[in-house]
Amino acid sequence: MSNTTHYRLVTNNTEFEFDAYFNTNGSVSTNLKGVSGFWHVTDEDMFCYAIHRLPFSTSEFVECFPIAAMAIPRFAKELWRSKPMEGTILHGGILPGRPTE
């Protein structure tokens, strides 16, 4: 889990980008102050995660997808798109590595 997950959230009047880091202890940290989350693998081999305290109207979201979808390593700024709520599109992608401080 040494990659960066990049998100771009688009609403009717806002576009916001941020990065998330899935840590080996089950937590999710981000490059935004105070924004965090957690991840878990279900008995049905689904990878589920939640991110909360985002600084806009969609302040939290939960997503799940099959672990098999992660079997083929792919890196791109935008790999998938979802609609966490009406009028909101969340783009996600995986970038290799993490930023160094």
- Residue-range domains of the chain with CATH: 4-94 (2.40.128)
Q: What's the confidence (pLDDT) of residue 91? A: 94
84 versus 33: which is more confidently predicted? 33
Distance CA 22, CA 15 (A): 23
For residue 8, the SS3 value is strand
Residues β-bridged to residue 80: 92
Q: How confident is the model at residue 17 (pLDDT cuts 50, 70, 90)?
A: very high
Distance CA 93, CA 44 (A): 23
What distance separates the 2 farthest-apart alpha carbons in the chain?
39
Query: pTM of the entire structure?
Result: 0.84
Give pLDDT tens digits for 72-97: 777 888 888 999 888 889 999 988 88
Token couple for 67: 């672990």
Q: Are 81 and 89 in contact (CB under 8 A)?
A: yes
Q: What's the confidence (pLDDT) of residue 101? A: 55
43 versus 94: which is more confidently predicted? 43
